[in-house]
Amino acid sequence: MKITVECFAGHRGDETPRRISFDERSIEVAEVIDRWLGSDHRYFKILGSDGATYVLRQDTVKHSWEITLYERPHRVGERPS
């Protein structure tokens, strides 16, 4: 899924996602859980303000972003699958 990502550039110039937008929704990044590098992609596992977990992939050549994983928040009393 193609998305728009607003980033914060830190003191080293590394961009970190702060907000993601897709399907007319805007979700704040509550926490960056993990980050890692691939050969030509950067990945961020984030917790969104909606309680869902996302893995974002940035194509460092095309400068585009995608959601590669979405886990919805669990409801009270619901068992994780």
Encoding tokens for residue 12?
A: 């080293």
Q: Is residue 32 part of a domain?
A: yes
Three-state DSSP at 81 gives coil
DSSP letter for 80, please: P
* CA dist 8 → 19, 27, 39, 54, 73 (Å): 9, 15, 22, 18, 25
Give the count of domains, the chain: 1
Q: Is residue 21 part of a domain?
A: yes
Identify the residue whose tokens are 């030509």: 40
pLDDT of residue 45: 97
| Per-residue model confidence as pLDDT tens for the chain (81 residues) | 679 999 987 665 567 999 999 989 999 999 999 999 998 899 999 999 999 999 999 998 888 999 999 999 877 666 655
Rounded CA separation 54/29 (Å): 10
pLDDT of residue 74: 73
Q: Is residue 81 part of a domain?
A: no
pLDDT of residue 63: 85
